[in-house]
């Protein structure tokens, strides 16, 4: 199986533009025979808590229908980041589009302190099954709670995939944590991050992959949009950067 972590430069609150960028990177993944691609935290809007109430949608909103069409036509699973609302609650969510299936959702269980009061934490753990590979999803601060990755291991996950906004000041700590998760639980680990500016942060890029010994085996740069692909059969890495269109 080939899985991709996407690295993008979001435009603040510009949903149509950001969807266009998503489609370009998904096309790049399809061209390289990828089975799964996942984007960073709140990738469709950028990480903009102050705009969350204005920009949030129900996870089945038709504005995202194109992703289901792409998933169905190309046999690829897609995960995008979006603020979602339900019963007057706003959550930080990853919306999943799987071929010929109803869309699903995972909402961040562990909120960063600055997110409390704006967002509501999700209640459910989420495990994705792609080609008989079990993949646990995490969103940013989830990875800082040891119980989250412990639960992924206990559920039999082979891959721990985290969508983040990681700043230049915070990334080194999280890179170490993700390496430790891979080594401790013998799981492959992937992280999808932003570049550019979002939510008042300078984003660090460096979208990464670790093998099940916790060794960093691939990483994108900190300035270009692109995808990092891991072949789970042989731990081979591919890097593909988006050309300007």
Going along the chain from its start, the domains and CATH numbers come out as 2-241 (3.60.110.10)
* Residue 32, token pair as written in the block: 């390289």
3-state secondary structure of 36: strand
The whole-number pLDDT of residue 158 equals 95
CA–CA distance, 97 with 239 (Å, rounded to integer): 23
pLDDT tens digits along 10-54: 999 999 999 999 999 999 999 999 999 999 999 999 999 999 999
Taking 80 as the threshold, does the pLDDT of residue 244 lie above it? no
**Cβ–Cβ < 8 Å for 74, 100:** no
Taking 60 as the threshold, does the pLDDT of residue 195 lie above it? yes
The whole-number pLDDT of residue 174 equals 96
The whole-number pLDDT of residue 169 equals 94
The whole-number pLDDT of residue 132 equals 83
pLDDT tens digits along 152-189: 999 999 999 999 999 999 999 999 999 999 999 999 99
pLDDT tens digits along 63-106: 999 999 999 999 999 999 999 999 889 999 999 999 999 999 99
The whole-number pLDDT of residue 243 equals 86
Q: What is the pTM of this model?
A: 0.96
DSSP of 163-209: E---BTTTHHHHHHHHHHHHHHHT-EEEEE-B-SEETTEEB----EE
Which pLDDT band, with edges at 50, 70 and 90, does 127 fall under? confident
State how far the alpha carbon of 245 is from the alpha carbons of 33, 80, 142, in Å: 22, 22, 35
The whole-number pLDDT of residue 107 equals 97
CA–CA distance, 110 with 195 (Å, rounded to integer): 23
CA–CA distance, 240 with 149 (Å, rounded to integer): 28
pLDDT tens digits along 200-234: 999 999 999 999 999 999 999 999 999 999 999 99
The whole-number pLDDT of residue 125 equals 86
How does the average pLDDT of the chain come out, rounded? Answer: 96
Taking 60 as the threshold, does the pLDDT of residue 245 lie above it? no
Report the Cα 12 to chain-centroid distance in Å: 18
**Cβ–Cβ < 8 Å for 109, 75:** no
The whole-number pLDDT of residue 72 equals 98
**Cβ–Cβ < 8 Å for 158, 186:** no
CA–CA distance, 175 with 65 (Å, rounded to integer): 34
**Cβ–Cβ < 8 Å for 51, 58:** no
The whole-number pLDDT of residue 230 equals 98
Q: Which residue has the tokens 């979006």?
A: 82
Which pLDDT band, with edges at 50, 70 and 90, does 131 fall under? confident
**Radius of gyration from C-alpha coordinates of the chain:** 16
CA–CA distance, 171 with 165 (Å, rounded to integer): 9
Q: Which residue has the higher pLDDT, 245 or 95?
A: 95
3-state secondary structure of 23: helix
Burial label, 226 (beta-carbon count in 10 A; 0-12, 13-18, 19+): buried
């Amino acid at each position: 199986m080939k899985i991709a972590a996407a690295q993008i430069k979001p435009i603040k609150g510009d949903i149509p533009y950001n969807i266009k960028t998503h489609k370009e990177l998904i096309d790049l993944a399809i061209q390289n025979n990828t089975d799964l691609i996942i984007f960073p935290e709140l990738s469709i809007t950028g990480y903009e808590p102050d705009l969350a109430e204005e920009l949030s949608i129900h996870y089945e909103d038709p504005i995202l229908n194109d992703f289901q069409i792409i998933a169905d036509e190309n046999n690829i699973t897609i995960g995008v980041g979006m603020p979602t609302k339900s019963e007057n609650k706003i959550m930080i969510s990853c919306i999943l589009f799987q071929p010929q299936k109803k869309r699903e959702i995972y909402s961040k269980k562990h909120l960063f302190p600055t997110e409390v009061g704006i967002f509501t934490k999700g209640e459910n753990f989420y495990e994705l099954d792609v080609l008989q590979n079990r993949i646990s999803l995490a969103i940013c601060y989830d990875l800082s709670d040891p119980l989250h990755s412990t639960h992924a291991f206990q559920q039999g996950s082979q891959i721990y995939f985290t969508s983040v906004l990681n700043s230049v000041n915070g990334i080194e700590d999280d890179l170490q944590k993700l390496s430790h998760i891979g080594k401790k639980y013998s799981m492959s680990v992937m992280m999808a991050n932003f570049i550019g500016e979002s939510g008042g942060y300078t984003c660090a890029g460096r979208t990464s992959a670790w093998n099940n010994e916790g060794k960093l085996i691939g990483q994108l740069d900190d300035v270009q949009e692109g995808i990092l692909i891991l072949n789970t059969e042989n731990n081979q890495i591919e890097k593909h950067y988006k050309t300007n269109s």
